[in-house]
Amino acid sequence: MNIEKQLIDKIYSKKATIGIVGLGYVGLPLMLRYVDEGYSVLGIDIDPTKVDKLNDGLSYIEHISSNDIANAIEKNLFEATTDFSRASDADALILCVPTPLNKYREPDLSFVIETIDALVPYLRKAQVVSLESTTYPGTTEEELLPRIKQGGLEVGEDIFLVYSPEREDPGNPDFETRTIPKVCGGHTASCKSVGLALYSVAIDRVVPVSSTKAAEMTKLLENIHRAVNIGLVNELKVVADRMDIDIHEVINAAATKPFGFTPYYPGPGLGGHCIPIDPFYLTWKAREFGLHTRFIELAGEINTYMPRFVVDKLTDALNERGKSLKGSRILVLGIAYKKNVDDMRESPAVELMERLEKKGALVEYSDPHVPVFPEMREHCFDLSSIELTPENITQYDCVLLATNHDSFDYEMILKNSNLIVDTRGKYLEPLSHVVKA
């Protein structure tokens, strides 16, 4: 029996150990999905604090239950470690590590490269390595493949290499890891067969594509599609604002058309780990082929401009009330990148806070999902969430609605605020102390 068939049989018989490298917003839900199917999962992460917490049965992500983590450990189906030498214990290694941009808005693959470099000494025959991190087309072949080959393993015969982009949507009750279709491409036909087996046991539908590059491009297309359409509607928001038209009213009216229109909604900027970042992975790679992706880059420029537009609107609204932004007390409502989650990655609310503070405003925030402002690589605020009470709200010169969590009491906020700058279209009726931004 050849190695490919042996590994596929081991996966289908649930005798395979699943290794997940990177226990974050993508890795943890995937771990729980395999545990639910009865697989033993080894989690590997470089953060010892995170590993210790998980081994104690505690979750550090709001929408992932500590009970689920504890149950996985009690069943002896999950263990977390910082020891990369344990990678040889796993039959599958799924890489779920960050792929941010550097300060020049170029791809930063350091997490991917450092991870594969740490794993290579412990790779062995009859393993499958899958990269899930969003990246530019060619990454799997150009960065992972040569490093794996250096260890003397023949990819497609001894060991198998696939790319399958993550598709998590934290806080969305309509989808979960099991029900979101999984795209999968392999370096060879054998690699793809093993990859399809790996994911088909945990995901309802696996979508095969012809190569790792096609799978990488698929992920970028998904998020560039959203970024470009959000850029379009953000530009229309600026135009509509100048014409004294409520863009949210227009979008809601257009959305009644049962064909040919998909509603996208404007906001204070793009947030999350995908949409603000992924388009720049493709624009950077396209330059290697002598191409300039003008359409994508224009959308990026528009979306990047939105926090400045919001601050300008807020400044004008204060001026109309005889107040200067400098010295004004501003309460930012919601600092997560989208509603009903605690995820702060690339949140536009943080840029709004920084811009306001640089202009002399006294900035505080209220977010039930983020009780204390977290440590971030590029941002630092020594703040805790303010309790939303009528007495507290009246103390602020302006309330800036940045993230529209469902748990906010919008009627109470409306009744007690001196001024509201609404970036999310929550208040649709014309109101004297509500400014749309």
Mark whether 154 and 57 lie in a shared domain: yes
Q: What is the total count of domains within the chain?
A: 2
Mark whether 266 and 206 lie in a shared domain: no
Closest CA to 121 of 152, 75, 156: 152
pLDDT at 212 over 70: yes
Per-residue pLDDT band for 273 (boundaries 50, 70, 90) equals: low
Rounded Cα distance, 400 and 381, in Å: 17
Rounded Cα distance, 200 and 249, in Å: 43
pLDDT digits (tens, 9 = 90+) for 305-329: 999 999 999 999 999 999 999 999 9
Rounded Cα distance, 304 and 312, in Å: 14
Mark whether 143 and 29 lie in a shared domain: yes
Q: Residue 251: give the domain boundaries.
A: 244-436
Mark whether 197 and 250 lie in a shared domain: no
Q: So what's the pLDDT on residue 410? A: 97
Mark whether 382 and 325 lie in a shared domain: yes
Mean pLDDT of 244-257: 96
Mark whether 277 and 190 lie in a shared domain: no
Q: Is residue 88 part of a domain?
A: yes
Q: Which of 154, 186, 210 is the last residue of a domain?
A: 210
Q: So what's the pLDDT on residue 380? A: 78
Give pTM, 2 decimals.
Answer: 0.91
Rounded Cα distance, 115 and 155, in Å: 18
Residue 7 Cα distances to 125, 153, 300, 305, 404, angstroms: 10, 15, 43, 50, 47
Closest CA to 311 of 349, 270, 367, 272: 349
List residues bridging with 323 in a β-sheet. none
Q: Is residue 221 part of a domain?
A: no
List residues bridging with 144 in a β-sheet. none
Q: Is residue 139 part of a domain?
A: yes
Q: Is residue 284 part of a domain?
A: yes
Q: Which DSSP symbol is given to 343?
A: -
Q: Is residue 237 part of a domain?
A: no
pLDDT digits (tens, 9 = 90+) for 408-422: 999 999 999 999 999
Q: Is residue 227 part of a domain?
A: no
Q: So what's the pLDDT on residue 279? A: 86
Mark whether 138 and 275 lie in a shared domain: no
**Residue 428's CATH number:** 3.40.50.720
Mark whether 380 and 427 lie in a shared domain: yes
Q: Could you list the active site residues?
A: 274
